[in-house]
Structure 1
Amino acid sequence: MNAQRLSSRVKSVLLYLLLLAFLTPFLLIVMNSFKTTQQFFENPLSLPATIKFDNYASAFKDMDFLQGFVNSLIITAIAVFIIIIFSAMTGYLFVRYKWKLNAFLFFLMLASMALPFQVLMIPLVMLYGNMDLLNNKMTLLFMYLGFGVPFGVFTFHGFIKGIPYELEESAFIEGSSRLRTFFSVVLPLLKPVFVTLLVLDVLWIWNDYLLPSLVLLSSDQKTLPLSTYAFFSSYSVDYAPLMAGLIMTIIPVLVIYLFLQKQIIQGITEGALK
């Protein structure tokens, strides 16, 4: 019994140390967001002498925060919605229709997940640039759809296989169409994986820097991660307001996670069981 208690306490201590290791970078950013850039260079590990929000006001203005926030919100909301809906419907099609073409397409989607984006980014930019389609939110949304759907289909495919087909047959007997059955019967049962993919895709698209930097060229199209580049000059970086800007960029995602964390854990658990 004593050995079990000792083992449990050791595991708890290790988990707390691991948590501290993960939180340390975030805490350092928070602390240094209240300092001046000079104080940051002098001692980045020290606590701020006073709590002032001057850096946040400066970051809000220099980043054009409202414009970047609106752009990020529009792109993230639309991209996540179309990725999840298309993924769910495609996964349902692959599970319920045993066509050879579906098996081949599902294999192609899985294979595409192994292809790094860095391999495709230069050909994509050249292709869309030659067609004069860059600096357009629709082009960026189309790319997110292509890169996000394979993982979504893979995830929904495993969950839909665990849903008894008898539930859908009952709806068909009552006169429900295939499309209505999907949205009324199947989709509500996919809530855990739906929420899990929602959070994962929001984290990916909201924080993405590389793909928007290749597609969105004008200042009025920039997302929040691109707006933080306003603090970089040719020879120096204004670190204090930069860190304040990073905190302001992170807050919306943290709020979403806090509201949905119970569903995320449930989705991960059910996915492991399936």
Structure 2
Amino acid sequence: MEQRYTKRTFLLEILTILLGLIFLIPFYFIIINSLKSFSEILLNTAAWPKEFQWNNYAEAWKRLQYPKVFLNSLLITVFSNLVIVIFNSMAAYRLVRSPNKISKIIFILFISAMVIPFQSIMIPLVRVTSQLGLLNSIPGIVIMYLGLGAGFSIFLYHGFIKAIPREIEEAAIVDGCSSFCVFWRIVFPLLKPITVTIVILNSLWIWNDFLLPLLVLQEQNLRTIPLATFFFFGQYTKQWDLALAALILGIIPLLIFFFFLQRHIIKGITAGSIK
């Protein structure tokens, strides 16, 4: 049946376009002001640049030591996602396939941890991390991201695994597969949509995180992009021209990653609710 293009549809399209433009306004201010001189930013932040200052990006690249901080951010994000996916997918699978009171209690504890503000545990966390010798190390912060991201990731995996028919696993067991083999060869490949969703959402969080790296990575050679950008803001001066250029340099890799994988987000989230 052919659908008619009504006035209501037209108004909804206009409203959607306006909302899209509103969401793009912050990007406009960041991009435009990253191409201005410091004095021009102070005079009028909304105006178009009188002269494009492309040198801001070159100077920000140099001051950030961009290759080094980019590599630090990349290593932390990649390895954190790796351990989050491996350990939390196995944990969620065991909780789903062992439907008893203990599993339910453990699952509730993981979910409850999601509502605890990080600020309330950051001092004990740093103290314990220091005692374990994990400060100023990439493996140390990766372990912390594993713990902090466990609740949300297990919650998503838990809902998705419940939609997988158990008969598939039983058939594999009959053919001689062990529990370990069933998970990695049968179940885990089926988790691809939700795994991509978890990787995207955790990458957005870990790549842009500022507070935990500030507390844990105190050595200069371990700085991430958000930490390095912070040092453009001193006690007496704020180098907005370089800071905004640095923000663009930090956003670009994540935008490229997000645009390549964004189609999996809705698919992954909705698939866990459909049985």
Shift of 1:114: 1.2
Query: Deviations 1:21-47 (Å, cap 9, x if unpaired)?
Result: 111101210111111111111111011
1:159 counterpart residue number: 160
Aligned mates of 1:108, 1:264 — CA distance in 2: 26
2:271 counterpart residue number: 270
- Match of 1:231, SS? coil
- 1:81-120 to structure 2, matched below 5 A, reads 81-120=82-121
Aligned mates of 1:123, 1:4 — CA distance in 2: 59
Question: Is the 8 Å Cα contact of residues 161 and 272 (structure 2) preserved in structure 1?
Answer: no
- 1:66-145 to structure 2, matched below 5 A, reads 66-145=67-146
Shift of 1:191: 1.2
**2:240 pairs with 1:242:** no
1:202 counterpart residue number: 203
Aligned mates of 1:160, 1:255 — CA distance in 2: 29
Shift of 1:205: 0.2
127-136 or 164-173: which moved more?
127-136
Query: Deviations 1:139-192 (Å, cap 9, x if unpaired)?
Result: 211111111011111110111011000101111122122111111111111111
Question: Is the 8 Å Cα contact of residues 77 and 207 (structure 2) preserved in structure 1?
Answer: yes
Change (3 A) 1:103 1:272: closer
TM-score, with structure 1 as normaliser: 0.95
Aligned mates of 2:245, 2:40 — CA distance in 1: 14
Structure 2 gap segments, 5+ residues each:
none
Counterpart of 1:181 in structure 2: which amino acid? V
209-218 or 7-16: which moved more?
7-16
Shift of 1:2: 12
2:177 counterpart residue number: 176
202-211 or 115-124: which moved more?
115-124
Counterpart of 1:261 in structure 2: which amino acid? Q
Query: Deviations 1:33-67 (Å, cap 9, x if unpaired)?
Result: 11111111111101122334200000001111111
Question: Is the 8 Å Cα contact of residues 35 and 49 (structure 2) preserved in structure 1?
Answer: yes
99-108 or 58-67: which moved more?
99-108
Query: 4+ runs of 1 displaced by more than 3 Å?
Result: 1-4, 129-133, 271-274
Aligned mates of 1:175, 1:273 — CA distance in 2: 30
Aligned mates of 2:133, 2:78 — CA distance in 1: 25
- Match of 2:122, SS? helix
Counterpart of 1:203 in structure 2: which amino acid? L
Aligned mates of 2:47, 2:186 — CA distance in 1: 56
Aligned length: 274
182-191 or 74-83: which moved more?
182-191
TM-score, with structure 2 as normaliser: 0.94
1:25 counterpart residue number: 26
Counterpart of 1:12 in structure 2: which amino acid? E
Shift of 1:127: 3.0
RMSD: 1.8
Counterpart of 2:166 in structure 1: which amino acid? Y
Shift of 1:3: 9.8
Counterpart of 1:35 in structure 2: which amino acid? K
